[in-house]
Amino acid sequence: MDNRSLKCRFRGNIRLEAIKKVAFVLLLIAFQVSFGQGFLRADGEKIVDANGQNIILRGLGLGGWMVQEGYMLQTSNFAGPQYKIKQKIEELIGEENTKEFYNAYLANGITKRDIDSLKFWGFNSVRLPMHYNLYTLPIEEENSGDVTWLEKGFELTDNLLEWCSSNQMYLILDLHAAPGGQGHDANISDYDPTKPSLWESEANQQKMITLWQKLADRYKDNPWIGGYDIINEPNWNFEGENRNGCDEMNNKPLRKLMVDVTKAIREVDKKHIIFIEGNCWGNNYNGIFPLWDDNLVVSFHKYWNYNDLESIQKMLDYRKEYNVPIWLGESGENSNVWFRDAIKLMESNNIGWAFWPMKKVDNIAGVTSVNKSATYDSLLQYWKSSGTKPSISFAKKTLMLLAEEYKMENVTVKPDVIDAMFRQVLTVETKPYKQHSIPGIIYATEYDLGTNGYAYSDVDFINYRVSTGEFTTWNKGKKMRNDGVDIRVSNDIKTNGYEVYDIKDNEWLLFTVNVKKAKAYNVAIQYACENIDGKLHLEIDGKIISKPITLTSTISEDKYKTVVLPKIKMKEGTHKIKVVFDKGGFVLNYLDFYEDKD
């Protein structure tokens, strides 16, 4: 090849690169035009995007990250609000070590990998529960009238917004812990009753108003900010007797503060949605109406009640009467069946939602669980019982390990919860929790993904305590899965770590299996039974394939025995095997399908 050809190719490459750069710039401009005007907004009863398309927000709240709540760390018996948790930690390891722990906790608690995962699972939005003290000093540490800004909170929020933007997910800012605390339920807002609350201090209220204006000014031009949830779950009695504000008829201080915050935001940001919440954990709207801005969304929170139209009728009435969108800003802490039913109810009524929370220690009712180390358990035991005080070295190492366990790569992802929140909302079809092959062992806890009555049948599978007044534990063992099936740690020699227990008459489990070849198989059933005999039989694709077999007593529930169902004929291919418990009262570990040699 001569020099002229080289020059021509070189120039051609330059032109090609120039064209690519121009195309990229044009694409970037188009993107900015598309999303630069892409702010969510209220349009009558709907939330819409820039094109006027209806948007259903499917979100998750990052609870426990910026605002620690004792129940998420299993410290609620002795330290519920964050300031008490921090005091306990400082007493053990000192101020500097405590700062190191909290820096690691915040750095690991939410990362890009978390937001990437949420997007992959199907979420399109994130609700950020903010603690004001990451953004500005408490009034007790300020000179009169001064506002000191702290970079930590803004830096964490900037990073989170970047990760959300890259995934085209909306970020909703939620002031979860307002200056002074906005409710008597101290765990939620880190309220310290020895100091002036938000409602007892004009300085705290001004601090809150100034903070919201600062946030709005910082993020006013970003379309991936879904809106400002200006005060989370106020629960305070202004005139009524109920200390959480549930019998308030006027709520004048709450309305005034929300109006003042809105005014401050609108001085710098006229584009973003503002979410408002009533008293009594977000649901008492007496005296809050009429609305004062044309880009508001009325938020409500829903826990532990029936998932019927009546449970949301008041909010639907508000939507129609005031021509305003409504949003389920927080929900969760229940069984998979409740999650499925609640989301189905919301979406069938064009209501977006944000469930709760992202991470919690030893958790079944969330999309992830933070693993609890034996050393952390011993630390909890010390705090509960005040036994022998652990050394600084031991305590710090344990807490730093806890911070490490909060990394997304270290948590346990809960596929059953994710499946319930998305796939099960659309279908009752079951799918494998794990690929099962026959011959092979099928562990009882690895039954299909799906809802009650389809993947399993259990007597207790949901908590309706707000509606019924009675608390129901759906999974009594609180291990592995969030369905109605009762699961606990197994002490058997051969195990996947867990077993099904508290089995009631006529409950059942369903397993999708792949039978490798048509043949008769023996089925070894590993179980334990105390004092009484149990019974079970097998069905395949809806047909009974075995007579009930008796599971005789093994003396106690931690003494295991094997009984064999002989010569169960099975066809090659994929099948649904149902294990039916004709008579309960036993513990089931696994079923081992092996070829009959006769």
Q: Which of these three, 416, 438, 453, is where a domain ends?
A: 416
365 and 439 inside one domain:
no
102 lies in some domain: no
Residue 354 in tokens: 């944000």
Average pLDDT for residues 520-536, to the nearest whole number?
94
Least confident of 17-21, 215-219, 251-255, 356-360: 17-21
Which residues have CB under 8 Å from 150's CB, separation 6+?
A: 133, 134, 135, 136, 137
Res 596: pLDDT? 79
User: What's the CA gap between 135 and 137, in Å, rounded?
Assistant: 7
Q: Which residue has the tokens 């195990």?
A: 495
Q: What CATH code is carried by the domain that includes residue 189?
A: 3.20.20.80
Average pLDDT for residues 357-369, to the nearest whole number?
97
Q: Which of these three, 390, 416, 442, is where a domain ends?
A: 416
Looking at 348-428, which runs of residues are DSSP E strands? 352-356, 368-369, 412-413
147 and 277 inside one domain:
yes
pLDDT tens figures, 328-357: 999 999 999 999 999 999 999 999 999 999
362 and 436 inside one domain:
no
Query: Is 15 a residue whose pLDDT tops 80?
Result: no
486 lies in some domain: yes
443 and 515 inside one domain:
yes
Domain of 536?
429-595
Query: Is 30 a residue whose pLDDT tops 50?
Result: no
366 and 444 inside one domain:
no
Query: Is 386 a residue whose pLDDT tops 90?
Result: no
**Residue type at position 225:** I
Query: Is 496 a residue whose pLDDT tops 60?
Result: yes
For residue 136, the 8-state DSSP code is B
Q: Which residue has the tokens 């819409």?
A: 48
The secondary structure element, H or E, covering residue 259 is: helix 252-266
Q: What CATH code is carried by the domain that includes residue 462?
A: 2.60.120.260
Res 364: pLDDT? 97
> Are 47 and 324 a contacting pair, CB within 8 Å?
no
Question: How many other C-beta atoms lie within 10 A of the C-beta of residue 368?
Answer: 21
**Residue type at position 289:** F
173 and 318 inside one domain:
yes
pLDDT band with cut points at 50, 70 and 90 for residue 531: confident
The percent of residues in the chain predicted with pLDDT above 70, rounded, is 94
443 and 470 inside one domain:
yes
329 and 438 inside one domain:
no
Packing angle, helices 392-405 and 82-93, rounded to 10: 140
307 and 359 inside one domain:
yes
250 lies in some domain: yes
pLDDT band with cut points at 50, 70 and 90 for residue 158: very high
479 and 363 inside one domain:
no
Average pLDDT for residues 562-575, to the nearest whole number?
96
pLDDT band with cut points at 50, 70 and 90 for residue 411: very high
356 lies in some domain: yes
Q: What is the mean pLDDT of the chain?
A: 93
pLDDT tens figures, 229-245: 999 999 999 999 999 99
Which residues have CB under 8 Å from 391's CB, separation 6+?
A: none
> Are 277 and 329 a contacting pair, CB within 8 Å?
yes
Query: Is 463 a residue whose pLDDT tops 80?
Result: yes
Average pLDDT for residues 255-259, to the nearest whole number?
98
Instruction: Single out the residue of 50, 47, 54 nearest to residue 295, CA to CA.
Output: 47
Split into its structural domains, the chain has a count of 2
Res 556: pLDDT? 85
379 lies in some domain: no
Q: Which of these three, 416, 449, 477, is where a domain ends?
A: 416
105 lies in some domain: no
How open is the CA angle 108-113-118, to the nearest 5 degrees?
115
457 and 342 inside one domain:
no
The secondary structure element, H or E, covering residue 436 is: strand 436-438
**Residue type at position 433:** Y
> Are 83 and 192 a contacting pair, CB within 8 Å?
yes
User: What's the CA gap between 169 and 70, in Å, rounded?
Assistant: 29
Res 597: pLDDT? 77
4 lies in some domain: no
The secondary structure element, H or E, covering residue 27 is: helix 3-36
pLDDT tens figures, 291-337: 999 999 999 999 999 999 999 999 999 999 999 999 999 999 999 99
Res 598: pLDDT? 66
Instruction: Single out the residue of 24, 125, 20, 79 nearest to residue 384, CA to CA.
Output: 79
397 lies in some domain: no
User: What's the CA gap between 322 and 320, in Å, rounded?
Assistant: 6
126 and 198 inside one domain:
yes
